């Protein structure tokens, strides 16, 4: 698969603070790529570098196989950190500027973008009169202007109400279905898990892991088991070959961890039954992104 | 220059116009300049007419000494000098236009959307050019109107001393460039405006005055003074004795050197802004 973005060994310091340390990863075409990390992990710094807002101390990046340039940026609809618009201009006038600079779309596509983000009715109101959520939606509208194939969203649901968040999630799904490549930084793990195909997790300027969501999450099989006598269940599981760890989750069940792809439900069930423990629960669980995230980012 | 780059420059001007044309402060500036230029000159003209209209000896002497500073061709010089005092009005606009970009973070968005950093600085250069041109057009209209109105008999001499039109433009552009530099580096409108006013109205004037007597007039190399001396005091000032005449002639002789210095300083400032903006984090 062709790569839309290739980041190669990017480092950046602010004085003694190392904001990014040798970060490398690739974003394949058509991916919905989630960039995750706690506040201050370097997500926005990284996105700022690939949009030429900040200068990297070392390393390089390429969009569509070419070093970053005004021409490559024009092909990418981007929302970085905050909605940046002229306060005294209307939504339409602001998008006219976006359009004139980027060359994306035409006069009609300004209305189209405003309709998608539900600002068409307020298109002639000044930006300064908008609520936080409306400003954010205008920024998303500006990114969508002219229907670019690559979109970059830094915390796209910032300032939106629950309905707005659901709408943006739906919009991102729709865009992904159209084959667009979407790069999205977020600390809302639930959001990312619901829409992303790929994920990169960062912490204090370091890239901890990157790749397809399934690969990043599925490094272990987690089997959840329950029985009347949890003590007996735990004792017999300790004799079972291949379990790396047993955890008590609550008073009704246990979690047994296996190396990825090695847990057999039939075999476990049979083992327990033969040892005289009847299971009332047996499920193979996928690890949630949240679990993985805390696992990776907790000290 | 290729066709493509011509088109790009035109596109930059169009985009700046989109930003400026609905900016209320722009129209305020336009209105205030449109009132100040004729207003100030009117005040001086009124003073001149009052002082020279009587039949008594004093009035006649005054008339003989002063001539008519508002008649062609001297109007070009007089009006340029009197109007140029109000550089702070367009300077406010220039500083606002650049600090707005930082305030709204549109200096980032313009780059994100596909401008190069160089194009951003060029767009601001055009802002300064556009505002200087508007000021120059207003000055030209006011100077011409006074020339035609103050002494219609001299209208035939309207084409003399037209060099003050490009000189006025150069001086305005040079001084607004300094205003731009302050906004560009300081990023905060109020601080930049404060420094501009304090330096332009007070500090440099004191320094130039002091240097005139104590430091062999070294003050002429200070940033505003360099371009202030492109348009020396009006010609009537030279008619108050030998010393004044000598000073006036010396000032006229120094104009070419000050044009050169102004061009060098202005080019250096813009060169620095391009250099700085290409390297810095936004």
pLDDT tens string B189-200: 999 999 999 999
Q: In Å, how far are A102, B68, B159, B165 from B76, measured between CA atoms?
A: 44, 12, 10, 7
Percentage of chain A lying above the pLDDT 90 cut:
52
- Alpha-carbon span A33 to A26, nearest angstrom: 10
Please choose, from the candidates A198, A192, A98, A178, the residue with its C-alpha nearest in 3D space to the C-alpha of residue A146: A98
Q: A147 and A118 in one domain?
A: yes
- Bridge partners (DSSP) of residue B180 are none
Chain-wide mean pLDDT for chain B? 89
> DSSP states of A84-140 as a string?
---TTSBHHHHHHHHHHHH--S-HHHHHHHHHHTT-GGGTTSBGGGS-HHHHHHHHH
Q: Which residue has the tokens 């001393």?
A: B161
Q: Which residue has the tokens 């348009």?
A: B231
Q: In Å, how far are A182, A297, B8, B194 from A201, measured between CA atoms?
A: 16, 8, 40, 46
Print the domain residue range for A15.
3-216
* Alpha-helix runs per DSSP H in B22-154: 24-52, 57-66, 74-84, 88-103, 106-112, 117-150
pLDDT tens string A234-285: 999 988 888 888 888 777 788 888 887 788 889 999 999 998 999 998 988 7
Count of the separate structural domains present in chain A: 2
Q: What is the pLDDT of residue A173?
A: 87
- Alpha-carbon span A211 to A126, nearest angstrom: 42
User: B99 to chain A: nearest residue by CA?
Assistant: A86
Which of A216, A244, A269 is at the close of a domain?
Answer: A216
Q: A270 and A256 in one domain?
A: yes
pTM: 0.86
Q: What is the pLDDT of residue B82?
A: 92
**CATH code assigned at A239:** 3.30.70.100
- Alpha-carbon span B46 to B41, nearest angstrom: 8
CB contact under 8 A, A103 and B105: no
Q: List chain A residues with CB under 8 Å of B115.
A: 70, 101
Numbered residues of chain A with Cβ closer than 8 Å to any chain B Cβ:
51-55, 69-71, 73-74, 78, 80, 82, 84-89, 93, 96-98, 100-103, 142
- Alpha-carbon span B134 to B90, nearest angstrom: 10
Which of A216, A239, A260 is at the close of a domain?
Answer: A216
**CATH code assigned at A19:** 3.40.50.300
- Alpha-carbon span A192 to A217, nearest angstrom: 13
pLDDT tens string A157-187: 888 888 888 888 888 888 888 889 999 998 7
Q: A58 and A173 in one domain?
A: yes
Q: Quick one: average pLDDT of B49-57?
A: 75
Q: What is the pLDDT of residue B2?
A: 44
pLDDT tens string B13-37: 999 999 999 999 999 988 998 999 9
Q: List chain B residues with CB under 8 Å of A86.
A: 19, 23, 100, 104, 106
Note whether ipTM > 0.90 here: no
Q: What is the pLDDT of residue B248?
A: 86
Best of A84, A142, A152 to disrupt the B interface (most B CBs within 10 Å) is A84
Q: List chain B residues with CB under 8 Å of A70.
A: 114-116, 119
Percentage of chain A lying above the pLDDT 70 cut:
98
| Environment class of A78 (CB within 10 Å of its CB; exposed 0-12, middle 13-18, buried 19+) | buried
Count of the separate structural domains present in chain B: 1
Q: Considering CB atoms only, which of A86, A87, A101 is closest to B114?
A: A101
Q: What is the pLDDT of residue B17?
A: 94
Contacts within 8 Å (CB) and 24+ apart, A186-192: A186/A34, A186/A35, A186/A36, A186/A155, A186/A156, A186/A157, A187/A36, A187/A37, A187/A38, A187/A39, A187/A155, A188/A157, A189/A36, A189/A288, A189/A289, A189/A290, A189/A293, A190/A289, A190/A290, A191/A157, A191/A165, A192/A34, A192/A36, A192/A289
CB atoms within 10 A of CB B49: 12
Q: A233 and A131 in one domain?
A: no
Q: Considering CB atoms only, which of B15, B106, B279 is closest to A85?
A: B106
- For residue B270, the Cα-to-chain-centroid distance in whole angstroms is 17
Sheet of strand A181-186, all strands in order from the earlier edge strand to the far edge: A76-79, A150-154, A181-186, A32-36, A198-203, A206-212
HSE-up of residue A76 (Cα within 13 Å, Cβ side): 32
Q: Is the alpha carbon torsion for A213, A214, A215, A219 positive or negative? A: positive
CB contact under 8 A, B104 and A78: no
Q: Quick one: average pLDDT of B133-161?
A: 88
| Three-state SS at B220 | helix
Residue B276: both structure tokens together: 């700085």
Q: Quick one: average pLDDT of B228-238?
A: 85
Q: A130 and A277 in one domain?
A: no
Best of B114, B120, B127, B276 to disrupt the A interface (most A CBs within 10 Å) is B114
CB contact under 8 A, A70 and B116: yes
pLDDT tens string B174-221: 999 999 999 999 999 999 999 999 999 999 999 998 998 888 888 889
Q: What is the pLDDT of residue A219?
A: 67
Say yes or no to pLDDT of A1 above 70.
Answer: no
Print the domain residue range for B275.
3-279
Q: What is the pLDDT of residue B1?
A: 42
Residues with Cβ within 8 Å of residue A256, at least 6 apart in sequence: A222, A223, A225, A237, A240, A243, A245, A246, A263, A268
Chain-wide mean pLDDT for chain A? 89
Count interface pairs A-B at CB distance under 8 A.
Answer: 74
- Alpha-carbon span B21 to B64, nearest angstrom: 47
- Alpha-carbon span B228 to B258, nearest angstrom: 9
User: B18 to chain A: nearest residue by CA?
Assistant: A97
Q: List chain A residues with CB under 8 Å of B24.
A: 88
CB atoms within 10 A of CB B36: 17
Say yes or no to pLDDT of B6 above 60.
Answer: no
Say yes or no to pLDDT of A113 above 80.
Answer: yes
- Alpha-carbon span A102 to A96, nearest angstrom: 10
Residues with Cβ within 8 Å of residue A293, at least 6 apart in sequence: A36, A189, A201
Q: Quick one: average pLDDT of A34-39?
A: 88
Residues with Cβ within 8 Å of residue B239, at least 6 apart in sequence: B65, B66, B67, B245
Residue B124: both structure tokens together: 């601001």
User: A148 to chain B: nearest residue by CA?
Assistant: B113
CA distance A80 to chain B (A): 8
Please choose, from the candidates A185, A197, A220, the residue with its C-alpha nearest in 3D space to the C-alpha of residue A292: A220
HSE-up of residue B202 (Cα within 13 Å, Cβ side): 5
- Bridge partners (DSSP) of residue A13 are A18
Q: Quick one: average pLDDT of B95-114?
A: 96
Which of A199, A216, A233 is at the close of a domain?
Answer: A216
Q: A291 and A179 in one domain?
A: no
CB contact under 8 A, B22 and A54: no
CB contact under 8 A, B104 and A84: yes
Q: A280 and A190 in one domain?
A: no
Say yes or no to pLDDT of B3 above 70.
Answer: no
Between A71-80, B52-61, B79-88, the lowest mean confidence (pLDDT) is in B52-61
CB contact under 8 A, A53 and B119: no
Q: In Å, how far are A34, A145, A187, A203, A216 from A200, measured between CA atoms?
A: 6, 27, 12, 10, 9
Q: A180 and A115 in one domain?
A: yes
- Alpha-carbon span B231 to B82, nearest angstrom: 10
Residue B248: both structure tokens together: 């006036």
- Alpha-carbon span B251 to B236, nearest angstrom: 13
């Amino acid at each position: 698969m062709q790569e839309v973005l290739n980041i190669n060994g990017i480092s950046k310091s602010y004085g003694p603070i190392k904001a990014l340390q040798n970060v490398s990863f690739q974003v394949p075409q058509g991916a919905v790529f989630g960039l995750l990390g706690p506040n201050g992990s370097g997500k926005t710094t990284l996105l700022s570098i690939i949009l030429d807002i900040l200068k990297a101390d070392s390393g390089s990046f390429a969009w569509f196989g070419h070093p970053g340039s005004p021409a490559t940026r024009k092909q990418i609809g981007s929302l970085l950190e905050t909605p940046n618009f002229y306060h005294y201009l209307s939504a339409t006038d602001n998008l006219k500027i976006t359009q004139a600079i980027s060359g994306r779309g035409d006069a009609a596509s300004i209305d189209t973008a405003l309709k998608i983000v539900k600002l068409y009715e307020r298109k002639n109101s000044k930006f300064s009169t908008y609520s936080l959520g409306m400003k954010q939606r205008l920024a998303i509208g500006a990114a969508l202007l002219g229907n670019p194939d690559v979109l970059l969203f830094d915390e796209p649901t910032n300032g939106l109400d629950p309905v707005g968040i659901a709408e943006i999630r739906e919009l991102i799904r729709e865009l992904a279905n159209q084959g667009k490549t979407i790069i999205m930084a977020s600390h809302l793990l639930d959001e990312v898990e619901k829409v992303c195909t790929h994920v990169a997790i960062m912490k204090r300027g370091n890239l901890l892991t990157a790749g397809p969501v399934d690969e990043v999450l599925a490094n272990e099989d987690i089997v959840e088991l329950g029985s009347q006598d949890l003590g007996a269940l735990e004792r017999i599981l300790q004799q079972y070959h291949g379990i790396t760890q047993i955890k008590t989750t609550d008073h009704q069940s246990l979690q047994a961890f296996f190396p990825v792809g090695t847990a057999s439900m039939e075999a476990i069930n049979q083992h327990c039954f033969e040892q005289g423990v009847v299971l009332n629960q047996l499920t193979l669980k996928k690890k949630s992104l949240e679990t993985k995230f805390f696992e990776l980012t907790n000290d | 220059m290729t066709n493509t780059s011509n088109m790009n420059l035109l596109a930059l001007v169009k985009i700046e116009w989109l930003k400026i044309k609905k900016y209320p402060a722009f129209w305020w500036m336009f209105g205030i300049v449109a009132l100040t230029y004729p207003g100030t000159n009117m005040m001086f003209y009124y003073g001149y007419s009052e002082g020279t209209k009587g039949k008594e000896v004093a009035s006649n002497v005054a008339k003989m000494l002063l001539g008519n500073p508002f008649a062609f061709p001297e109007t070009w010089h007089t009006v340029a000098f009197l109007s140029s005092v109000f550089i702070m009005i367009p300077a406010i606009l220039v500083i606002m236009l650049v600090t707005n970009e930082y305030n709204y973070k549109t200096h980032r968005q313009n780059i994100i959307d596909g401008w190069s950093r160089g194009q951003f600085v060029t767009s601001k250069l055009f802002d300064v050019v556009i505002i200087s041109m508007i000021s120059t057009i207003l000055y030209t209209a006011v100077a011409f109107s006074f020339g035609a109105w103050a002494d219609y008999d001299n209208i035939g001499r309207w084409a003399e001393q037209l060099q003050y039109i490009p000189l006025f433009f150069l001086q305005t552009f040079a001084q607004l460039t300094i205003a731009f530099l302050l906004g560009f580096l300081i990023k905060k409108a109020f601080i930049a405006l404060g420094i501009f006013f304090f330096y332009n109205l007070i500090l440099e004037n004191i320094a130039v005055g002091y240097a005139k007597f104590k430091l062999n007039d070294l003050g002429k190399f200070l940033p505003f003074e360099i371009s202030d001396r492109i348009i020396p005091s009006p010609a009537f000032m030279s008619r108050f004795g030998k010393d004044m005449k000598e000073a006036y002639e010396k000032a006229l002789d120094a104009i070419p050197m000050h044009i050169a210095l102004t061009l060098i300083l202005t080019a250096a400032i813009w060169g620095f802004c391009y250099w700085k903006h290409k390297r810095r984090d936004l």
